[in-house]
């Protein structure tokens, strides 16, 4: 459904934009309907840039992004099927408007002919779907709602459309532990309904909880991807191992990551290509510079 093919994003940086910086460099992966794929990597690895390109909020420098074969095209038709929810729910609302104004905007843009009563019923039922009580949240200003309630209202807003893909960018990082699990379970329910979810996070444990497949990003390139159980259970790239070693554990001291080893696939990998270690589990060469061209 969502397909990224050799996607690149280059920013102009430096004085007068005289230099270029590749924030995303030749990234390819896909998300199928009814699947959660988590995109993980350290801060600055390019995760949000990828999310923004999928949502049409940043231009694509090279390669292609398609949803059901249709290239990203910001506009009503595209956003009917592809929506994003972000880290800070408070910044998504205008503080002087009541929170339900976001629903009215959906009606005005997408369902102008629908009767008010029918729309109201649809909104209330969707709010119940995200496990909120409509009477408790409708008619309130954003500052009168919690972060978790606002985040769920944003998901409800997305669900009122004919949604195929949700880009969820660090959506739980501002929530407390129990609200976080509620929102994660909600995302898991969305996939049961056949939605594809790209779950952008730097928190490996949350990605592990939710995603069928994991894509590990480092400095704008994919270093490893595959079934989450394989990537986390048998990490092949030194960077993935480093990330896993850095996850805090209760009652256990932090471990040092295994030292960077000689790349297993040095002989096999053409520079930049990924090696298929086992079906669906791909890893980049860890010594790209030395790889045969
Ligand atoms: N408009 C811009 N101009 C220049 N560089 C940018 C711009 N936006 C992002 N970058 C750079 O691109 C790189 C990737 O940024 P991005 O926000 O995608 O990272 P991220 O993995 O989402 O990080 P985080 O987890 O901290 O949000 C960073 O080095 C960032 O400084």
Residue nearest to atom 16 of ligand 1 (CA): 46
Rounded (10°) CA dihedral 12, 13, 16, 18:
-70
Which atom from ligand 1 is nearest to the alpha carbon of 200?
A: 22
pLDDT the model gives residue 10: 95
Q: Domain boundaries in the chain?
A: 2-219, 234-293
User: Quick check: ipTM above 0.90?
Assistant: yes
What pLDDT, in 10s, does the model give residues 235-264?
Answer: 988 889 888 887 766 666 655 555 455 555
Residue 62 pLDDT:
95
Architecture of domain 2-219: 3-Layer(aba) Sandwich (3.40)
Question: In testing the pocket of ligand 1, which one of 46, 171, 219, 223 has its CB within 8 Å of the most ligand atoms?
Answer: 46
For atom 8 of ligand 1, which residue has the closest CA? 49
Ligand 1 centre to CA of 47 (Å) is 8
- Please give the helix or strand (H or E) that residue 200 lies within, else none: strand 196-201
Q: Give the residue from 38, 49, 43, 67 showing the smallest Cα distance to 200.
A: 38
Q: Alpha-carbon distance 65 to 6, whole Å?
A: 9
- From the CA of 45, give the closest atom in ligand 1: 21
Dump pLDDT digits (tens) for 98-107. Answer: 877 888 888 9
Q: Give the pocket of ligand 1 (CB within 6 Å).
A: 11, 13, 21, 23, 41, 43-49, 202
């Amino acid at each position: 459904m969502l397909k990224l093919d050799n996607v690149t994003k280059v920013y102009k940086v430096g004085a007068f934009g005289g230099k270029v910086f590749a924030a995303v460099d030749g990234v390819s992966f896909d998300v199928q309907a009814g699947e959660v794929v988590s995109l993980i990597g350290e801060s600055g690895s390019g995760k949000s840039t990828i999310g923004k390109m999928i949502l049409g909020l940043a231009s694509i420098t090279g390669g292609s992004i398609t949803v059901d074969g249709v290239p990203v095209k910001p506009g009503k038709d595209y956003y009917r099927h592809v929506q994003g929810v972000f880290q800070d729910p408070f910044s998504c609302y205008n503080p002087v408007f009541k929170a339900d104004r976001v629903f009215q905007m959906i009606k005005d843009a997408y369902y102008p002919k629908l009767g008010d009563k029918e729309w109201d019923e649809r909104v209330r039922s969707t709010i119940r779907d995200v496990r909120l009580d409509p009477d408790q949240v409708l008619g309130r200003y954003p500052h009168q709602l919690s972060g978790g309630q606002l985040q769920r209202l944003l998901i409800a807003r997305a669900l009122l459309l004919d949604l195929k893909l949700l880009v969820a960018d660090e959506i739980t990082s501002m929530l407390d532990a129990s609200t976080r699990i509620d929102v994660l379970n909600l995302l898991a329910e969305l996939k049961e309904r056949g939605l594809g979810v790209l779950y952008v996070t730097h928190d490996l444990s949350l990605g592990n909880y939710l995603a069928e497949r994991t894509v590990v990003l480092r400095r704008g390139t994919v270093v490893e991807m595959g079934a989450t159980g394989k990537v986390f259970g048998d990490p092949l790239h030194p960077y993935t191992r480093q990330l896993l070693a850095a996850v805090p554990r209760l009652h256990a001291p932090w471990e040092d990551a295994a030292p960077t080893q000689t790349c297993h696939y040095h002989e096999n990998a053409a520079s930049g290509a990924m090696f298929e270690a086992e079906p669906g589990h791909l890893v980049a060469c860890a010594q790209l510079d030395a790889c045969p061209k």
